[in-house]
Amino acid sequence: MVSMENIREFTSQKNIAVAGVSRNSKKFGNAIFKELKKKGIQVYPVHPNMDEFEGQKCFPDIGSLPVEVSGIVINTRPDVTKKLVDEAKQKGIKNIWLQQGSADKDYLNNLETDNYNIISKQCILMFADPVNGVHGFHRWMRKNFGKFPH
């Protein structure tokens, strides 16, 4: 179970990669990237087939990310997520956020988390302060109905 301590540790990172950005502007990975950037976080887009995203260099894989990247949000299909988690661990990235829907139940149940801060079943945009708009409303609802991490 994810705790607020785990979430605070992740959201305190200043250099976060986002795997799952896309040429399709409607993909949620794009929204995550843009929102984290607006919040003052240095974000690094990761996509194997893009050279640039939102005017920034796009990294083809996790191994090519700069050393200062200490966290990654993964918003990909479950089959891709498994590979990316392995790459993140190999790179030494200890803070890994698996956006809702990016991993299946079996994978999450068997995921080795020792020495890693792995967050799943949560939306990063409900926790990366300041939280506004629809994510602020969802946060308020979850708090009021006892569904918010402690």
147 belongs to a structural domain? no
* pLDDT single digits (tens) 86-127: 999 999 999 999 999 999 999 999 998 889 999 999 999 999
pTM value? 0.94
85 belongs to a structural domain? yes
Q: How confident is the model at residue 49 (pLDDT cuts 50, 70, 90)?
A: very high
CATH number of the domain bearing residue 61: 3.40.50.720
121 belongs to a structural domain? yes
- The chain-wide mean pLDDT, for the chain, equals 95
Segments forming the whole domain that contains residue 121: 4-125
Q: How confident is the model at residue 148 (pLDDT cuts 50, 70, 90)?
A: confident
143 belongs to a structural domain? no
Number of domains present in the structure of the chain:
1
Buried b / exposed e over 10-46, threshold 16 CB at 10 Å, is bbebebbbbbbbbeeeeebbbbbbebbbeeebebbbb
131 belongs to a structural domain? no
